């Protein structure tokens, strides 16, 4: 019988290394970035891979080096997560931080992980200035004027756009002129042209360089600017826009005495898929509308309608991308039912 020579240790080690799974690439973001000192930034770690369990450790803060360390593990939390793999996504809220520039470092301790990932972010003091967005909806291609309100201590203050990029607009303010106007400081409101812009949602940052903190960072004010596609839905008092402005929702109602009117839209902050309507009193919500993307499930957009009103109404939902509408009617004095239309609009047009 021929004997098989033993595998040399170096060859065995090389085999074991090649048998390990490939390093998992993770993406680390901090929101908001930059942050204001009173906010609690949230760290999000995501990956294209799937996982059953994932957790981020409590942050370890090294103020001497302005370093914040987090560890990603595959330990299951208590209670146990849902059965089956899911897209990797782990969250951890940071504490309030002193103004300054930081480096966030996430070390992935799961098998086959890659090198630690570092992300820079900063924390600012709040500026004594205010960004005033346009009163009317802004359309792509239009000239855009932002208003800045505040108190100037000199007569030669200046406002200037620093950066206009995809999703972000940075405006600088400088009030370091030593000359004081007659009567001392005064309240001002100045326009700042920043357009035209492409359709989308922009984070607007205002840096006050005349009042920088001890580490040199400018004080910060922040606002949001939405630029609408002129061919998509434009929000009004009676028009609710959902799914990034793709769907337009309007309601006509009629009561028991012959009165009629239009439903008043109530968009929900940070909810692009859901909105509300009132008919008679802003404090009395009559109807909830939800539009969900079910394209990956059955190839359709879904419309869900839930009402707490016995007046009659007609709901019109328009898919502005394909120019098609769906109407949902309810007669007066009829008890409303939940409408789960999971075939409202085809994703293929």
pLDDT for position 10: 45
Query: Is the distance from CB of 234 to CB of 247 less than 8 angstroms?
Result: no
pLDDT for position 257: 85
The SS3 call for residue 298 is helix
**Pairing state of beta strands 200-212 and 186-193?**
unpaired
β-bridge partners, 293: 301
Class of residue 1 by CB neighbours under 10 A (exposed 0-12, middle 13-18, buried 19+) = exposed
pLDDT for position 213: 63
Class of residue 122 by CB neighbours under 10 A (exposed 0-12, middle 13-18, buried 19+) = middle
DSSP, res 84: S
| Listed residue (177, 260, 217, 296) closest to 34, CA to CA | 217
Got the DSSP string for 150-162? EEESSS--EEEEE
pLDDT < 70 regions, the chain: 1-24, 77-84, 155, 177-184, 213-215, 349
Is the previous residue joined to 318 through a cis bond, with omega within 30 degrees of 0? no
Class of residue 70 by CB neighbours under 10 A (exposed 0-12, middle 13-18, buried 19+) = buried
pLDDT for position 182: 56
Give pTM, 2 decimals.
0.72
DSSP, res 126: B
Q: Length of the chain, please?
A: 349
Two structure tokens written together for 307: 């009402």
Q: For residue 299, what are the CA distances in angstroms to 93, 266, 326?
A: 36, 28, 17
Cα–Cα distance for residue pair 220/211, rounded to 1 Å = 10
């Amino acid at each position: 019988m021929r004997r098989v020579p033993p595998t040399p240790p170096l060859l065995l080690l090389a085999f074991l290394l090649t048998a390990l799974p490939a390093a998992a690439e993770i993406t680390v973001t901090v929101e908001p970035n930059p942050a204001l000192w009173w906010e609690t930034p949230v760290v999000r770690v995501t990956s294209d891979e799937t996982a059953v369990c994932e957790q981020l450790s409590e942050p370890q803060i090294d103020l001497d080096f302005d370093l914040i360390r987090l560890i990603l593990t595959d330990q299951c939390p208590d209670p146990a997560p849902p059965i089956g793999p899911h897209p990797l996504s782990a969250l951890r809220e940071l504490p309030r931080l002193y103004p300054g520039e930081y480096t966030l470092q996430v070390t992935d301790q799961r098998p086959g992980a890659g090198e630690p990932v570092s992300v820079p972010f900063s924390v600012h003091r709040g500026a004594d200035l205010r960004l005033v967005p346009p009163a009317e909806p802004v359309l792509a291609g239009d000239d855009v004027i932002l208003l800045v309100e505040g108190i100037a201590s000199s007569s030669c203050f200046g406002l200037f756009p620093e950066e206009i990029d995809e999703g972000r607009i940075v405006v600088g303010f400088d009030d370091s002129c030593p000359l004081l106007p007659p009567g001392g400081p005064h309240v001002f409101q100045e326009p700042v042209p920043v357009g035209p812009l492409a359709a989308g949602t922009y984070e607007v940052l205002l840096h006050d360089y005349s009042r920088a903190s001890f580490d040199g960072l400018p004080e910060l004010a922040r606002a949001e600017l939405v630029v609408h596609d002129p061919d998509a839905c434009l929000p009004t008092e009676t028009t609710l826009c959902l799914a990034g402005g793709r769907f337009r929702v309007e309601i006509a109602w009629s009561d028991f005495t012959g009165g009629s009117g239009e439903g008043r839209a109530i968009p929900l902050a940070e909810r692009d898929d859901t909105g509300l309507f009132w008919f008679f009193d802003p404090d009395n919500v009559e109807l909830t509308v939800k539009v969900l993307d079910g394209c990956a499930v059955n190839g359709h957009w879904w419309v869900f309608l839930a009402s707490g009103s016995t007046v009659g109404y007609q709901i019109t939902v328009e898919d502005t991308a394909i120019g098609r509408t769906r109407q949902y009617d309810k007669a007066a004095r009829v008890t409303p039912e939940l409408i789960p239309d999971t075939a409202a609009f085809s994703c293929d047009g």
